[in-house]
Amino acid sequence: MIRAEPPTRSYLPAEFDPSDVQAADERFGELLRRDLPDLAALKAWVGDMDELHNALEEERNQRLVASTQHTEDEALQAAYRTFLETVTPLMMERRKELDDKLLQCAFTKELDPGTFGEFLDSVATRRRLYRAENVPLDVEENSLRTEFGRLMGATMVSFEGAEHTLPRMRIYGRDPDRARREAGWRATSARLLQDRLAYDELLDKLIDVRTRMARNAGFQDYVEYRHAEWRRCYTPEDTQAFHEAIESRVLPVRRALQARRREELGVDALRPWDVAADPHGRPALQPFDGGCELVALSRRLFERVDPLFSEHIGYMAERDLLDLDSRPGKGPGGYMCGFAEQRLPFIFMNASGLQIDVITMLHEGGHAFHFFEARDLDPSFNRSAPMEFCEVASMAMEFMALEGAAEVYAPEDGRRAWSEQLERCVQTMAWVATIDSFQQELYRNPEHSHDERTEMWLRAFRRFGGDIDFGGLERQEATRWQQQGHIFSHPLYYIEYALALLGALQIWRNFRRDRTAAVASYRNGLALGGRRPVPELFRAAGAEFDMGEGLLGDLMDMVSAEMARVA
C-alpha cells in the first residue's frame, strides 16, 4: 500500500503559520528581493516560491473543507471568510510581482520546456489578465460562492412526518410507487421554491462581479475572459457547434430512451418524478448502507480495474481523507479537493445509500487517483491538468469500474447498475449542453432581468430536455437551474464534462479490447499532470480530443449497442 508521507519543508520553517498575514508577506518579500544570478538560483527560487504557495493553498483548502462539512458552524464559516479576505488578496498581489520577476529573469528561457513550458504559459496568461482592481472583486466572488453551499446545506424537506436532507430525498424519486414519487418530488420542489428569490439574487451578484472582472481585463464579457483565463484550446463558437452536434447525435438517443421508459412505465407522458425510477417497478438499487460499506464496495470495484486504485482508497480511509455520508448542515454535492503541502487528495460527498452515490465515489476516486499519479511532479502547477482532462480521469474510471459490476454486485443488480450508467451517459451529454448554453447566454447578456433569465433557461432546457411533461409545474421547470451548483461556484465550468466524456468513452472502448493496455495508457496520461496541452493528454491516455459530430456519433452508436445488449 502507498505510504504518501508529505515532503519535508526546505524553505519554510516548520512553525510557519499560513494564516499569519505578516509572516506570509515577509516570505513574499524575501522572494521578491532575492538575486537570481544563474539558472540554478532561478530553479531554487521557483521551488521556494512553490513551497510557500503550497502551504497557503493547503490552509485555504482545509478551511474550505471544514466550512462545507459544517455549514451551520459560524466559527468555521468566519475562519474561511477571514482567510479569503486577508491572505488571498495578499497572494494575488504578490503573485503578480513574482510573475513579473519570473518572466523578466534572463534565465527563464533556459528552463526545460518539458517541465516548465505549460507552467510558464500559465504565468504569462495570468500576468496578462491581472488587474489590481480585480483583487477585491475576486475576494467578493469567493465569499459569494460559499453562500450557495450555505443555502443548500440549510435546506431540509418535511416529508412523511420527518425532516430530510436534499440528498436523502433522492431515495423517494426512485420509489416504485408513482404516487409516493410524486409526493416526494412535490415536497422537495415546494421547499426549493421558498428560496428561489435568494438564488436569483445571489446569481445577480455573481454575474455582476464576474462581468466587472472581465471588463476590467479588457474583455467584452465573462465568456471571453473565462476562455482566456483557462487557456482553452477551443473557442466559445466551438462549444456552440458542439451543442449542435449533441442536439443532432445525442438527443435522438435520449428521446428513444424516454419513449421506452414511458412505454415500460405504462404512462401517457413522462412526468419529472418518473425520470429516475426503475421502469420495471423494482425498488431503487441501494447497494450499501453508510460510508464504511461504500468504501468497501468501491474498493472491490476499483480492484477489478487495478489493485493500486483499491489501495489508494484504503489509504485515504486510514488517513481520514473521506467524508462520505449525508447529514444535516453539510454542504451539497461532492468534490475531490487536493491538499497541496501534504500532496494528498480529500473526497467530500453526500451519500444516502443509492447507486448514484457509488457513481459519485467512482468519479471522485478517479480524481483522487489522478492526484496520486501526479503528486511527485514539481512545480505544483504540473500536478493539476486542465479541467477537460481532469474529468477524463474521473469519468473513465466510472466506466472501467462499473462494466464488471455484475462480478461485485448480485448479477442482476450488476447488469442493472451498468445499464443505468449507460443511460446516464446520454443524459449527461444533454444536460451539459443545457447548462453550458444557458451559462453562455447569461454572461453574454449580463444586464438581463429575472424574467429574461427564465426565458434563457427555458430555451436551453426545452432544447435538450427531450420529452418530459411539466404541465402545471411551470414554476418548478423555470427554476430547475437553481439546483446546479456549478452555475454559482464554478462559472462556465460544465462543457468539460461532455468533452471529457468523449475521452472516457474512448478509454472504455480500449478497456474492452485490452484491459491491461488501456489501464496502462490511462495511468500514463494521469501521470503527466499538467505538463502537456489537452490534446496531448488525451492522446497519452489513448484517446483523441475531437469535438466533431463524427466521433460523437460513433461513440453514441457504441453506447446504444451496449444498451441494447444489456436491456
- Residue 218: per-residue pLDDT: 97
390, 413 Cβ separation under 8 angstroms: no
Count how many Cα atoms sit within 13 Å of the Cα of residue 474 in the half-sphere of its side chain. 3
Find the helix packing angle between 411-444 and 387-402, rounded to 10°.
160
Which neighbouring-strand residues pair with 159? 162
Same-domain check for residues 504 and 393: yes
Length of the chain (residues): 567
Say how far apart CA 167 and CA 557 lie, in whole Å: 33
Chain-wide mean pLDDT for the chain? 95
Say how far apart CA 118 and CA 129 lie, in whole Å: 17
Domain contains 309: no
Same-domain check for residues 234 and 132: no
pLDDT in tens, 435-490: 999 999 999 999 999 999 999 999 999 999 999 999 999 999 999 999 999 999 99
pLDDT in tens, 197-229: 999 999 999 999 999 999 999 999 999 999 999
- Residue 45: per-residue pLDDT: 98
Distance (Å) of CA 560 to CA 214, 243, 250: 42, 20, 10
Q: Of 387, 397, 316, which is closest to residue 364 (Cα–Cα)? A: 397
Query: 229: which residues sit within 8 A by CB, 6+ positions away?
Result: 125, 129
pLDDT in tens, 327-386: 998 988 899 999 999 999 999 999 999 999 999 999 999 999 999 999 999 999 999 999
Amino acid (1-letter code) at residue 317: A
pLDDT in tens, 510-536: 999 999 999 999 999 999 999 999 999
- Residue 333: per-residue pLDDT: 85
Same-domain check for residues 407 and 503: yes
Which neighbouring-strand residues pair with 322? 347
Task: Please identify, among 90, 118, 144, the residue that sits at the C-terminal boundary of a domain.
Answer: 144
Domain contains 211: no
254, 434 Cβ separation under 8 angstroms: no
Domain contains 559: yes
Distance (Å) of CA 366 to CA 272, 390, 393: 30, 9, 5
Asked whether the predicted pLDDT for residue 186 surpasses 60, the reply is yes
Same-domain check for residues 131 and 231: no
Asked whether the predicted pLDDT for residue 37 surpasses 90, the reply is yes
Residue 261 domain boundaries = 226-283+386-567
Q: Of 394, 432, 392, which is closest to residue 251 (Cα–Cα)? A: 432
Domain contains 374: no
Confidence grade of residue 152 (pLDDT, cut at 50, 70, 90): confident
Domain contains 498: yes
Share above pLDDT 90 across residues of the chain, in percent, rounded to a whole number: 92
CATH number of 274's domain: 1.10.1370.30
Total domains in the chain come to 2
Asked whether the predicted pLDDT for residue 133 surpasses 70, the reply is yes
- Listed in order, strand segments (DSSP E) in 143-252 are 156-159, 162-165
User: Among 48-57, 148-157, 249-258, which stretch is predicted with the lowest mean pLDDT?
Assistant: 148-157
Residue 72's SS3 state is: coil
Between 191 and 3, name the one with better pLDDT: 191
Confidence grade of residue 3 (pLDDT, cut at 50, 70, 90): low
Q: Of 116, 129, 100, which is closest to residue 229 (Cα–Cα)? A: 129
Average confidence (pLDDT) over 126-148: 92
Share above pLDDT 70 across residues of the chain, in percent, rounded to a whole number: 99
Same-domain check for residues 137 and 232: no
401, 362 Cβ separation under 8 angstroms: yes
Same-domain check for residues 140 and 244: no
Task: Please identify, among 83, 111, 144, the residue that sits at the C-terminal boundary of a domain.
Answer: 144
- Residue 211: per-residue pLDDT: 98
Amino acid (1-letter code) at residue 374: A
Domain contains 293: no
Same-domain check for residues 553 and 413: yes
pTM for this entry? 0.92
Same-domain check for residues 394 and 488: yes
Asked whether the predicted pLDDT for residue 4 surpasses 70, the reply is no
- Residue 169: per-residue pLDDT: 92
- Residue 167: per-residue pLDDT: 85
Residue 322's SS3 state is: strand
Same-domain check for residues 412 and 559: yes
Task: Please identify, among 144, 171, 186, the residue that sits at the C-terminal boundary of a domain.
Answer: 144
- Residue 2: per-residue pLDDT: 61
Same-domain check for residues 411 and 545: yes
Same-domain check for residues 87 and 236: no
136, 89 Cβ separation under 8 angstroms: yes
Average confidence (pLDDT) over 124-147: 93
Element at 90 (helix H, strand E): helix 74-104
475, 367 Cβ separation under 8 angstroms: no
Asked whether the predicted pLDDT for residue 1 surpasses 80, the reply is no
Domain contains 327: no
Average confidence (pLDDT) over 91-116: 95
Domain contains 65: yes
353 Rama sector, left if φ>0, alpha if ψ -120 to 50, beta otherwise: left
CATH number of 87's domain: 1.20.140
Residue 171's SS3 state is: coil
Query: 127: which residues sit within 8 A by CB, 6+ positions away?
Result: 96, 99, 100, 103
Same-domain check for residues 401 and 514: yes
Distance (Å) of CA 231 to CA 128, 235, 238, 275: 12, 10, 14, 37
